[in-house]
Amino acid sequence: MFADNVLIVTIVAAFLIAVLIGPLFIPFLRRLKFGQAIREEGPQSHKKKAGTPTMGGTIILLALIFTVLKFANSSVEVTFLLLVTLGYGLIGFLDDFIKIRKKHNLGLTAKQKFAGQILLGIAAYALLIVMGHDTSLHLPGTPWKLELGYFYFPFLLFLLVGTTNAVNLTDGLDGLLAGTGAIAFGAYAIIAWFGQNYDTAIFSAAVVGGVLGFLVFNAHPARVFMGDTGSLALGGALAGIAIMTKTELLLAIIGGVFVVETLSVILQVVSFKTRGKRIFRMSPLHHHFELTGWSEWRVVVTFWLVGIFFAGLGVYLEVVTIK
């Protein structure tokens, strides 16, 4: 009976741990004066959020670690997932800490952050070699695959760095990333379970529970922000799970919200530099809708619904059409 319900048990356990840790950890962050600095170029309505405790992603990571150690096996797959999750979370932690010390919204430089992400990607690739990992890419919704061989290495770096930064860009409104993240990881828990990648499924479920527990404190009006500690860790975890389930290309569908957010930034920059005109009132895209008059909660819920659509499509393509 437990084996049949292990994903639900894992989600509930991680959720409860996060909910219990939150009331203890948030006042601790306040005492340390670990408040969020708001970027000057952001929406003016966000100024009132200045000083809200950040680095709350630590709550998610603690819930994840305790739950995974309890319910998952000590496998090389779990080791890989913890490496990319905690590794990118550490980069985010350093970024957050520097911002807090400087009392400014600039932490690690872009070069420093990129170098750290690349080095961690190399370490991840080395572990995959030891694991004898499949270097082919499976085309979503089909039985076909494309063998990359040595070209899998640059693809892996692109996947890890791209995903972590795309997820990071989405963390701009109360509950936005927590909700869309829970949806995406929930989809992967289903895919991993049906693919008999049980440890990866449990890991995914633990993230879902931890993120939902964090959402209790992060829903509008947020009492705590996850910071780069949380957003980069979630990006690393999402990419890592896609790698373990051999659904690297499917990630672009399941994480459709993150892709759209990233594209909005790219299009905005390219348009402004080439034509001197902006496509959106502000990027990432969630800020555009804010500035058109949507309430923050309306934007967040709309993005959640879009996330559910993309996640459902991804599960359908992987589980229904293939399995």
What would the pLDDT profile of 5-49 be if each residue is shown by its tens digit?
Answer: 899 999 999 999 999 999 999 998 888 777 666 555 555 555 566
Known binding positions for Mg(2+): 168, 228
* Structural contact between residues 182 and 237, judged by C-beta atoms closer than 8 angstroms: no
Q: Is the pLDDT of residue 2 over 50?
A: no
Q: How far is CA 35 from CA 99, 105, 128, 227, 232, in A?
A: 9, 11, 38, 10, 18
Cβ atoms within 10 A of the Cβ of 122, count? Answer: 13
Per DSSP, the three-state class of 149 is helix
What would the pLDDT profile of 172-183 be if each residue is shown by its tens digit?
Answer: 899 999 999 999
What would the pLDDT profile of 229-270 be if each residue is shown by its tens digit?
Answer: 999 999 999 999 999 999 999 999 999 999 999 999 999 999
Cα–Cα nearest to 208, from 64, 25, 100, 6: 64
Number of H helices, E strands in the chain: 12, 2
What would the pLDDT profile of 147-165 be if each residue is shown by its tens digit?
Answer: 999 999 999 999 999 999 9
Q: Is the pLDDT of residue 1 over 50?
A: no
What would the pLDDT profile of 83-134 be if each residue is shown by its tens digit?
Answer: 999 999 999 999 988 888 776 667 788 899 999 999 999 999 999 999 999 9
What would the pLDDT profile of 202-227 be if each residue is shown by its tens digit?
Answer: 999 999 999 999 999 999 888 999 99
So what's the pLDDT on residue 203?
98
Burial track 281-294 (b if 16+ CB lie within 10 A, e otherwise) = ebbbbbbbbbeeee
- The CA-based angle 30-84-60, given to 5 degrees, is 30
147 beta partners: 136
pLDDT > 90: percent of the chain: 75
- pTM score, two decimals? 0.93
So what's the pLDDT on residue 36?
63
What would the pLDDT profile of 264-297 be if each residue is shown by its tens digit?
Answer: 999 999 998 989 889 999 989 999 999 999 999 9
Q: Is the pLDDT of residue 311 over 70?
A: yes
So what's the pLDDT on residue 204?
97
* Structural contact between residues 37 and 99, judged by C-beta atoms closer than 8 angstroms: yes
* Structural contact between residues 54 and 96, judged by C-beta atoms closer than 8 angstroms: yes
So what's the pLDDT on residue 109?
86
So what's the pLDDT on residue 226?
94
- For residues 233 and 85, give the distance between their C-alpha atoms in angstroms, rounded to a whole number: 5
The two structure tokens encoding residue 170: 């989405």
Alpha-carbon 235 to chain mean position: 3
Residue 129 class from Cβ within 10 Å (0-12 exposed, 13-18 middle, 19+ buried)? exposed
So what's the pLDDT on residue 321?
65
